[in-house]
């Protein structure tokens, strides 16, 4: 059986790393399962939001499987070594990391690449590669997500930071008791899933514009992204449903 499970609940796809005996480390089978799960989410019209999490309370994902890496004498990981959402695999729909424990190395990568992060109070985050002589080129966007000096501290020390500190820095959206993590992630995902789908997709694309465009270009690209949304049937349905005092019925067109 695959160590990665895909479950759909009320429009929310849960992608669950199910390898708790190894702290949900990224073995070859886990990495393959994650790619398959993300592709399944992209193709699943019933799934509006993806939640990525791990089994158990100890680890979201402890990072690479060091034993396997040693056995394979891994040097430079290939571009498709691990799904990096928005980099080596496009994911137009929103994604949420529900961090249920430690997120170290590749686990940090997975959380970083999601659009939103909800963490259990005991969760810890670390880019730990400097402690084992490995690399973290995937951390290039970190100084866009958190203040540059905080990014520098995380990268140079390799020391874990608490969920509370991660929230202070803007790396995490919400911190909740471990027992309420899944419920909170599901609630957040359902709030997003209830919105106009074309607007949600455009909003996600807009949010990332400033990471790769200057201000003027970002505005121009945003206008292009939103024009078909303005011209959609859903753009008329929103005001009409408000006028008729009823819930909108989105068609996604």
Cα separation, 93 vs 70, in Å, equals: 36
DSSP H helical ranges for 60-214:
66-72, 106-113, 142-145, 148-157, 163-169, 181-193, 197-207
What is the predicted pLDDT for the residue at 73?
67
Segments making up each domain of the chain, as ranges: 4-193, 197-243
Max distance between CA atoms of the chain, in angstroms, equals: 65
**What's 4-193's CATH class?**
alpha beta
Query: Residue 166 to residues 117, 118, 122, 145, 210: CA-CA distances in angstroms?
Result: 10, 11, 12, 11, 22
Tell which residue, 87, 172, 159, has the closest CA to residue 126.
Answer: 159
Give pLDDT tens digits along the chain (253 positions): 789 999 999 999 999 999 999 999 999 999 999 999 999 999 999 999 999 999 999 999 998 776 776 666 667 877 888 999 999 999 999 999 999 999 999 999 999 999 999 999 999 999 999 998 888 888 999 999 999 999 999 999 999 999 999 999 999 999 999 999 999 999 999 999 999 999 999 999 999 998 888 899 999 999 999 999 999 999 999 999 999 999 999 999 9
Closest CA to 113 of 92, 139, 137: 139
**Distance (Å, rounded) from C-alpha 225 to C-alpha 162?**
37
pTM listed for this prediction: 0.94
pLDDT the model gives residue 167: 98
């Amino acid at each position: 059986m695959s160590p990665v499970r895909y479950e759909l609940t009320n429009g929310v796809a849960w992608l669950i790393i199910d390898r708790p005996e190894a702290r949900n480390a990224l073995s070859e089978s886990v990495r393959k399962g994650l790619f398959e799960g993300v592709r399944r989410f992209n193709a699943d019209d019933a799934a509006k939001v993806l939640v990525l999490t791990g089994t158990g309370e100890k680890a979201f994902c402890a990072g690479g499987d060091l034993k396997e890496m040693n056995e394979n004498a891994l040097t430079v990981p290939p571009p498709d070594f691990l799904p990096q959402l928005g980099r080596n695999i496009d994911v137009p729909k929103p994604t949420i990391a529900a961090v249920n424990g430690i997120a170290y190395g590749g686990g940090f990568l997975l959380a970083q690449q999601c659009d939103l992060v909800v963490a259990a109070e005991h969760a810890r985050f670390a880019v730990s590669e400097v402690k084992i002589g490995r690399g973290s080129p995937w951390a290039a966007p970190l100084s866009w997500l958190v203040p540059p000096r905080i990014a520098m501290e995380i990268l140079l020390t390799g020391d874990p930071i608490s969920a509370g500190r991660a929230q202070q820095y803007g790396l995490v959206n919400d911190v909740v008791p471990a027992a309420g993590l899944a419920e909170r992630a599901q609630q957040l995902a359902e709030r997003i899933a209830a919105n106009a789908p074309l607007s949600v997709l455009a909003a996600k694309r807009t949010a990332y514009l400033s990471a790769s465009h200057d201000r003027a270009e970002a505005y121009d690209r945003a206008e292009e992204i939103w024009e078909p949304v303005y011209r959609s049937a859903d753009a008329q349905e929103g005001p009409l449903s408000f006028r008729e005092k009823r819930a909108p019925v989105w068609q996604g067109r």
